[in-house]
Structure 1
C-alpha cells in the first residue's frame, strides 16, 4: 500500500498540528485534571471547525465523506498533542449511525458533524472480554420500545456526551441502541484511572426505556455493524498510540542532545544512541502497521481483521516500550509531576488496554491462523 499522504491529507495533518501547538494542548490537559469538565471544549470547538467529527460522515448526512485513514491521521496528531477531546468515541458512534439502515439519524449526524453534539460508545463491561461474547447487558422488548438493564465500564467522556451508542443482547444476539445520556434510570459515574487527562466512566442502566426508533441495528446487521465498530475503534486507539510514540521520541532526542554529563551531551554515548534508534524503529513500525490497518478497513480487504489485530498487538507493546525507554533516558526528571513525560506514559498504558490488549489480539491472530489451517 502507498503510505504517501495526499495534498488534502497533508493539509489536514498540518492544520490539526498547528491548532494543537497554538493551544498548548498539554498545558490545557493538565488544567482539566480533577476539574468539573472532562475535555477541552475550546480545542474541540476549533477542531470541529476544521472538520474532525465530520470527516467520515457521508456528505448526504452533512459530513465530509472521507475515510478511516483520515480519522487515523487526526488521531495521531491528537495523541502527539495529548489532546483531551471526545474525538474517538464521537466519530466511532457517527460511523455506526451513518451505516445504519433504519434509524432516525440525519439530525443526529448533522449535529455531530457541526460539533454541537458529543456521542460516545458504551461497549466494554467490567471483567469481560472486549468481544461480542463479553456482552451481558440485556435488552428486552417493552411495549413499542425496549428496556435496557446492565452496566458498562470505561466509557470515554460519557459524562460529557449527549447520546450513547449502547451494545446489548436482545433475543440472544447483539443489538445496538442510541440512548440519550439524560434518560431516566441511567447513571454515569466517573472512574479513577491511570490517565488523569481523560475521563472514563461507569454507566449503569437500571431498566432504561428506549423508544422503537432508538434501535440502530439488531441480528445479523448488528453483528456486522459491531464488527466494523470494533475494527475502527482499534485503529484509532493505535493511531493515538503512534502519536504518543512520536512525541515521546522527539522529547527524548531533544533531551539527550542537551543533557550534559561528564562534559558531553549524553546523546553522544553509544548506548543512548542505540536506545533512541530502537525507539525510532518501534515508532516507524507502529506507524506502518496502523496505516495499513486503516487502509485495509477502507478498502474492504479480506485480511482486515488480521491487519487490525496485528496493529494492536504490536503497537500496544511497542509504544509502551518506547515510553519506558523515554523514562529511563530522562532519568530523575522524568519521574516528576511537573514534567510532561508521565502524562504521555499514562495515556499509553491506558490505550494499550482499550479495544483489547496485546495478548487479546495475539489470541485472535492464533485463532484466525487455526481457522485458515482447518479450511
Structure 2
C-alpha cells in the first residue's frame, strides 16, 4: 500500500550530511583518480577492499534493509547520498547493483531463503546481482530463464557487475524468482567490452544451473528493484555531473592564457553557469525521486521517470563540457575526465534511456501521443 502524495522534502538532513562527509572522507583516502585509472587498466575493475570498507565496515550495504531483517534501517534518501558520493568518485564498487537493485528485489520476498540472502547482502559480505540487462527500464519485461527439473537454462547479456557477484537472482519463465550461486556448476560469466570501465557488464550463461526458489511471483520483486535502481541512479548521475563541474571550475581558475585566467573569459563563464543551473535542477529531481521512494509515495513512478528523463542529459552534457574545457589534457588517458564521460554515457542507457522514461511518464500521467 502506497502513501498519499505529499510535497517532497528536497533538503538534506543533518544525518544525511554527516553520512556524506564520512563517505567522502573514505573515498578521498581510498578512491583517488589515480587509483581508479590504474584499476581500469589492470583488468580487475572492482575494488574489493574499498567495497569491504563501505559495505561491511561502514554498514552501507544494509541502508535499505530494516533492522529486524539484518540491516541499518535507513532508507532511500540515505542510499541516494551514498550514490552521489560514489558518482563523484566514479567508484568501482557494485553498490547500485547489489545494495540497491538486488536488495530491493529481496525486500519484496518472504520466506527463509529470501531472509538468508537478504541478511548476507545487508552485511556486505555477499554481493548479489539481478540478472537483467543494465538497460532494462521500470515496466519492461526482462528475459527469463528456462526452468527444467529445478535447474535453470538461458543466456543474459549486459548484466552489470556479474563478475563481482556471489549470488545471482534470476527470473524464471515459470514466473518465479530464483537464486543461483555464482560459483555453481553450470554458471558461466563472460566479461564483455564495456564503455564504462568502472562498471563492467558481462554475459551470464546458465546451463542446468542448480537454483533455489526465492519467490513464486518474480514480477513484484523485479518491478520494485528496477524502479528503485532507476530512481537512485539519478543521484549517482548528480554526483558525476557535480564533480565534472567542480573539477572544471577548479582547472579554469588555475589555467592561464594570454596572461589571464581562462575562467575569466565571459564565454566560458556562460557555459559554466549553464551547467551549474542544470546541476541544481538535477539535484531537485534526484532528491524528489529518492524522497518519493523513501516515503512510499503513490507518485514514486512519476518522480523516478521525471528524474531519469532529465538526469542523463545533464550528466552527459556536464562531462562533455569538462573534457572540452580542460583542453588538450582533458583528452588524455591520464586525466580522469574520460572516466566521468564514460560513466555518464553508460548511465544514460542504464535503467532505460531518457526516451523510454519519457514514454513511461506520458503513460503514467495520461498524456496521449499524436495519432498515427
The TM-score, its normalising length taken from structure 1, stands at: 0.90
Indicate whether 1:256 and 2:252 are aligned: yes
Q: Which residue of 2 aligns with 1:69?
A: 77
Deviation at 1:283, TM superposition (A): 1.0
Of 139, 142, 150, the match for 1:135: 142
SS of alignment partner, residue 158 of structure 2: strand
Change (3 A) 1:154 1:275: same
Deviation string 1:156-202 (CA, Å, 9 cap, x unpaired) is 221121101122331xxx43221110122111001111112332211
In the alignment of these two chains, the number of paired residues is: 360
SS of alignment partner, residue 62 of structure 2: coil
SS of alignment partner, residue 169 of structure 1: coil
Deviation string 1:280-332 (CA, Å, 9 cap, x unpaired) is 11111111111101111121222111110111110011110111111221122
Q: Which residue of 2 aligns with 1:166?
A: 170
Which has the larger displacement, 193-202 or 31-40?
31-40
Structure 2: how far apart are the matches of 1:327 and 1:133? 34
Unaligned runs of 5+ in 2: 1-7
Deviation at 1:98, TM superposition (A): 2.8
Structure 2: how far apart are the matches of 1:33 and 1:41? 14
Residues 28, 40 of structure 1: 8 Å contact kept: no
Residues 253, 267 of structure 1: 8 Å contact kept: yes
Q: Which residue of 1 aligns with 2:67?
A: 59
Q: CA RMSD in A?
A: 2.0
Residues 242, 315 of structure 1: 8 Å contact kept: yes
Structure 2: how far apart are the matches of 1:162 and 1:71? 22
Indicate whether 1:117 and 2:126 are aligned: yes
Q: Which residue of 2 aligns with 1:202?
A: 203
Residues 118, 163 of structure 1: 8 Å contact kept: yes
The TM-score, its normalising length taken from structure 2, stands at: 0.91
The structure with higher relative contact order (CA 8 Å, sep 6+) is 2
Deviation at 1:140, TM superposition (A): 2.8
Unaligned runs of 5+ in 1: none
Of 103, 114, 118, the match for 1:94: 103
Q: Which residue of 1 aligns with 2:4?
A: none
Structure 2: how far apart are the matches of 1:39 and 1:253? 29
Indicate whether 1:314 and 2:310 are aligned: yes
Deviation string 1:322-360 (CA, Å, 9 cap, x unpaired) is 111112211221101111101111111111111001111
Structure 2: how far apart are the matches of 1:152 and 1:34? 26
Change (3 A) 1:177 1:103: farther
Indicate whether 1:334 and 2:323 are aligned: no
Structure 1: how far apart are the matches of 2:228 and 2:14? 24
Change (3 A) 1:306 1:372: farther
Structure 2: how far apart are the matches of 1:302 and 1:95? 17
Deviation at 1:34, TM superposition (A): 4.4
Residues 255, 330 of structure 1: 8 Å contact kept: yes
Deviation at 1:20, TM superposition (A): 0.3
Structure 2: how far apart are the matches of 1:218 and 1:363? 30
Change (3 A) 1:274 1:64: same
Residues 159, 188 of structure 1: 8 Å contact kept: yes
SS of alignment partner, residue 297 of structure 2: coil
Indicate whether 1:216 and 2:214 are aligned: yes
SS of alignment partner, residue 244 of structure 1: helix
Which has the larger displacement, 105-114 or 305-314?
105-114
